Amino acid sequence: MSFQKLDDLGRKLESLEHALSILGADEATHMAVGGGEKRAEAMANLAGMYHAQATAPQIADWIEAARPETEDQTLALAEFKRQYINATCLPTDFVERRTAATMRSEQLWRDLRAKGDWDSFLPALEGVIALVREEAQLRANATGLAPYDALMDQYDPGNRTADLDPVFADLKSFLKGFVPEALAAQEARLAKRPRKSLNAPYPIEKQRELGLAAMRAVGFDFTHGSLAVSHHPFCGGVPSDVRMTTRYRTDEFLSSLMGVLHETGHALYEQGLPKEWSHWSLGKARGMGIHESQSLFVEMQLARSPEFWDFALPLVHQHLGPDAIPGWETADVLNEVNFVERGYIRVDADEVTYPLHVILRYELEQDLVSGKLDASQIPEAWDAKMTEYLGISTINDPKDGPMQDVHWPGGAFGYFPSYTLGAMIAAQQWATLEKAQPNLRSDIARGDFNGVNQWRADNIWSQGSRWSTPELITRATGEPLNADIFKAHLRQRYLA
């Protein structure tokens, strides 16, 4: 009976999640400007209803009394209990204080980042960090985890600094030496085959048709999803109605196309989750690292490979016209999509330098949460790591240094590791697939992604949240997260 009560509750919560997700996607794509106030009111009320139902005191009794009869029910109950503990471990007054502080901090950040005004922003950030330390301890007390692990567990259940620190340290050491090698190899390559110019303009409607064709080719189900335009690309909605977006520039088309493919990776994961468990935590995506691995698998492993562009170049000519990129061959596209350069901005970084941006933030976050580093010391600590890792200084440029991301102003500590974990997991999945499917590359060159998607459906998508992030990686690939696989991928792509 208690398990049935939890099942009924799950269906009610799923309905509220559905409404909130669709309203949120609509707000970003189709809502009229004047609808904002009432939309915010509606979503706030729905969110309040969801929280009240999801944290009701009697749920603890239902969990305790539930008697699962199958392995899936046992796993579902364990995941539900984990979610319940994390939802109820923060007192209401703390949630209210944190919400007010992070909203104020984000608003200040939007205004002050453009001005590079670190000094005016610092007091608000100090308040957020104090609350993050408080939250970390509250979560640690409830879960038995170390404070930073308790924060990170919100985004990637099962990840622990004891496991990630040596992996990231190994990767960092490698990349500090590899970046100069990749840049030297690129310079030699471009001396033989210089970058070609794009033949703009590219009409938006034609770019849209190209994006839709690419989505269809890699397996997107248009009976359960759609593509729209938004200020910032995202993948939202619900598994039965995925709402994907992109944005367009008429002076080039590759950024939109790669963005579409990235979001399609997220969408394929959502569409492939176990439908029979959609109203339980068990049926949800397993954290941000795994979600990023699915989007980066499509964008980085597939869509930046020569085989993909052997298939995709005719699509470009079909939808953008025969003169869209006159004289371009696969190697010319790869020169563009795999271009490496040292830069200040994480979101603009290439596949080689991006992990160093993330590791820098991961290391600083741990020091900030533990109290080893104070907010006032961030600019100097940030600059020291940027100088060491990428050879560039941000000491007089807070706008493109420690003020560039919204995560810290918004209190999202523990999130950054997911980005590089996703890239490493994607490379590990690709390596496993190549061993399992000897014809993988020739299939992709022919536009056949069935084998790729079937493997991911069996090993990742259909598993939902049955396993922790580390367990899912090991079950899918046969070994724990291994930095050597990602390093081998980078060597093959950028030095070969």
DSSP secondary structure of 117-159? -HHHHHHHHHHHHHHHHHHHHHHHHHH-S-HHHHHHTTTSTT-
pLDDT for position 374: 98
- What stretches in the chain show pLDDT beneath 70? none
Q: Six-digit token pair at 295?
A: 């989007």
Q: Is the dihedral of CA 29, 30, 33, 39 positive or negative?
A: negative
CA distance 171 to 486: 9
pLDDT one-digit tens code per residue, 418-459: 999 999 999 999 999 999 999 999 999 999 999 999 999 999
Identify residue 192 by its one-letter amino acid code. K
Cβ(328)–Cβ(196) under 8 Å?
A: yes
CA distance 27 to 20: 10
Q: Six-digit token pair at 265?
A: 């990776």
Cβ(244)–Cβ(264) under 8 Å?
A: yes
pLDDT for position 231: 81
pLDDT for position 1: 76
Please, is 356 exposed, middle or buried when counting C-beta atoms within 10 Å of its C-beta (0-12, 13-18, 19+)? buried
pLDDT for position 380: 98
CA distance 300 to 487: 14
- Helices 2-29/36-54 angle, 10° precision: 160
Cβ(404)–Cβ(273) under 8 Å?
A: no
Q: Six-digit token pair at 354?
A: 């991006």
Cβ neighbours around 11 below 10 Å, total: 11
pLDDT for position 28: 87
CA distance 428 to 435: 11
CA distance 210 to 312: 10
The answer to whether 41 is a known catalytic residue is no
Identify residue 423 by its one-letter amino acid code. A
CA distance 31 to 363: 40
- Residue of 41, 135, 181, 263 marked active site: 263
